[in-house]
A and B are shown apart, each in its own frame.
Chain A
């Protein structure tokens, strides 16, 4: 057989096969066409393939190439026909039962609480600024919650009505030390400084407790993050700069930091921290230089080291970030709420 005849036969076969497959209106017709043209034993393509052996060797490569092309074309036509009947043909295939607007089956995925997400972000940013996380107990003694933080017995902050003191059981013989739910995470600063020598660069974070009536902006339990940096030659300029780096990272904007004088027993100077946000100043939290009395309480020499501390309320940051107008939502755990974040 010469090449020309072989090619002509192939072309005719291709035409007939595609026509038959396009015309096939049901699976049986498609199957019949498949057997007729592509059947393994006596399909017509198979028959033509046998003719390949009779082609002169020089023409065989081009004959083989063309044969493969035709074979693929017929197979493609078969797939198209099958797909058309299955209702998954392209837009030109005419009306089908497939509706692309029907949604998929979504797996149920859980959501991390927005407070946890905020905490993770804060830890992440402070971690990049070299602050390592430290945890401490939520039930504290008066030394760590007050005394070591330069809050003496006569300070109003120690009033039983402003704290959640625990009813200490009379079981323990001898003197039972008063315990309370910590009112601030600064307690962790004391515990860390009691344990390690400077330099210290930590953030402590977690739950704190204060007897506030629950309303849109208060809850008797909330989360705080506190940073502490102690080293030789740490200044208030470092404090301002670290807070600015933090705010720029967190809010992804070129914010500025403003200090207003304030009063906290454990820092001096003490300041309220504001940051510029969309053209106005908003409150970030409290900060200051670690009070020399705090250093003395943990056995650091205030002549040798200096340091700063700052504290931010996490609920407030989180609420502002997500436009949550009532912080009680954070503790209601309504699944619909949790799924918004």
Chain B
């Protein structure tokens, strides 16, 4: 809201410096944006919050100044001289849609001389950035900027009837507005029509046909109230945001409608002459009486934390235009006031608390009271996620943060956790991205591409974020199933990335075991990918991205990806591990090279090894797999693994270690017909 320094002086004497004015207004709720010199005047730009429509006019700002500096406020009485002809004999007004336009007032001036505005009016408007058009239009703009009530003036002679009908548009109706563009009117809108066609889009913009011009002799002045939501949808729907719609969206002062109409007529008479018809047509709901609000004085310290003298409280509220009820004086603990018509935001006790605080000054609230201590603990999931970050950072991965929403192609590329169609936003969040992701991997691959394009040599990325799995038939309609995920993309090979996932799990629970199976994820190489489960629950997948998919994602080099569900890790995490007593004796290791049939999987061998080893087996480490049809035979492979053996009773001798190994080999022979490979 641009206000003029000179203009304000018409209502309140400005005894302070402009900097002081800006500062104090800012501290009372009107943020100062900038101040610019316009001729002999200063244009001060103030930010007005949406709850304060009263500050969208100079009088409202002047009132704030008067309250803050304890200065007198002078508002013009607006008493235009009226002629003999009754306005009711000149025009008829009818509201067909009281939901969209609860009140409409009209006055008529006849015999005006439309021409250029006087200098004072041109200067006032120039200071607030409104170009001068002619004296009638300029006056209506002036009054709007004075009190915040938008007005519209029609060329009376061009109104068929003459009649004003406030109604919804008929199907297919259009209007050419004063910007000379034609707008198609939609059913929810409110139009001002004459006996035949729309002549204005109510509260948004007037029509070109009935616009006041040089040839206009008689003028109809409209001052009305429109429904804020309807104004907003109309302005938005037509892409027509005007100073008028801006004000109606925030509600105008219902008691100020008639004042604005009188003021407008008064100034038209002053600048353009003519004669004002007697009376006004005031159709629709009259302004409602405001309900009294009771302020219990004890609420001020209870909410604000400071004591304010009752007299000060009363003074602030009355200066703002509240009227104390007679009953109020009888009670010392409360103040009862009727809020002013221009303050739709004041309806409750807490609203008055805020008013008092705002004017009294928030700087009087101390910033060093002692707040009682309270215990707080870290969430289990936060501790798990922190640990995951530690492991990944140590493993050389950088953390990425990518957008939660992806485009359709990315959403379809990878759906490892659900078959359901991803949720879609009505408008894209960013260029084409309107699908809520069900996997982090496509976004990470896009980040990989960004880095490849920059020739960054090592691209090792992880992200911890949510995926949004649509509500399923079983879960019933409702919010999606949001799951925390860890996603990875790496330039390392499958085994390395899988090892990182295993390390994450091990860091959270040193005894957790994972079960692995084929992944069957389209994007991944079936020969180098797997799904992992923990305690029977799906946990993760890891795999090398297939060459076709690399191309699909526009990547240059190979990559392995992984995605891990965090919830099972949170459930399984052993965040305060118990001590396991250590044996004081040295370990002995044995490498074992076991030839088994191709079909025998490592996991089975590992189970047999563990079961047969006895208490001395401290660690079993897989090393490698060899295949050599000539030496091992067809459909055979050799599994190389290392046993770490240690006893709690004493140092293991070579013979004892060999015995454990032999026991293991024997068990494997029995179980899988495995043979120890000769040296």
Contacts and interface: CB of A to CB of B under 8 A. Distances in A.
Nearest to B378: A127
Contact of B468 (A138, A141, A160): A138
Interface in B118-148: none
A130 B425 contact: no
Interface in A173-210: 173-174, 176-177, 179, 181, 199, 201, 207, 209
B110 to A, nearest CB: 40
B351 A268 contact: yes
Q: Which range holds the interface residue count of chain B?
A: 35 or more
A292 B350 contact: yes
Which of A131, A139, A336 neighbours the largest number of chain B CB atoms within 10 Å of its CB?
A: A139
Interface in B272-319: 301-306
Contacts of B379: 132-133, 135
Q: Which range holds the interface residue count of chain A?
A: 35 or more
A92 interface: no
Interface in A264-319: 268-272, 289, 291-292, 306
A110 B393 contact: yes
B376 A113 contact: no
Interface in A236-257: 236-238, 240-245, 256-257
B251 to A, nearest CB: 10
Nearest to A330: B401
Given A237-B304, A241-B367, A330-B401, A220 B394 contact: no
B502 interface: no
Contacts, number: 244
Contacts of B76: none
A123 interface: yes
A256 B367 contact: yes
Nearest to A291: B350
B454 A236 contact: no
Contacts of B378: 123, 127, 133
Given A127-B376, A201-B374, A237-B306, A334 B451 contact: yes
A127 B339 CA distance: 43
Which of B351, B389, B429 neighbours the largest number of chain A CB atoms within 10 Å of its CB?
A: B429
B400 A113 contact: yes
A165 B426 contact: yes
B396 A269 contact: no
A109 B303 CA distance: 50
A111 B443 CA distance: 19
B373 interface: yes
A131 B377 CA distance: 8
Interface stretch (B96-104, B259-267, B355-363, B583-591): B355-363
Interface string A62-83: 0000000000000000000000
Contact of A161 (B51, B236, B456, B471): B236
A174 B478 CA distance: 12
B460 interface: yes
B252 to A, nearest CB: 15
A261 B362 contact: yes
Contact of B425 (A120, A135, A165): A165
B305 A235 contact: yes
A236 B304 contact: yes
Contact of A335 (B49, B366, B456): B456
The 7 closest A-B CB pairs, nearest first, are A237-B305, A235-B305, A172-B477, A130-B374, A261-B29, A259-B362, A263-B49
20 contacts: A110-B393, A110-B399, A159-B232, A164-B429, A174-B477, A176-B477, A179-B479, A220-B430, A237-B369, A241-B369, A258-B362, A258-B363, A263-B50, A268-B350, A269-B350, A269-B353, A269-B358, A292-B350, A306-B303, A335-B459
Given A172-B471, A235-B304, A333-B398, 17 more contacts: A110-B397, A120-B386, A127-B376, A131-B376, A133-B382, A139-B479, A139-B482, A159-B236, A169-B470, A172-B477, A181-B425, A220-B429, A241-B367, A257-B367, A261-B28, A261-B29, A336-B454
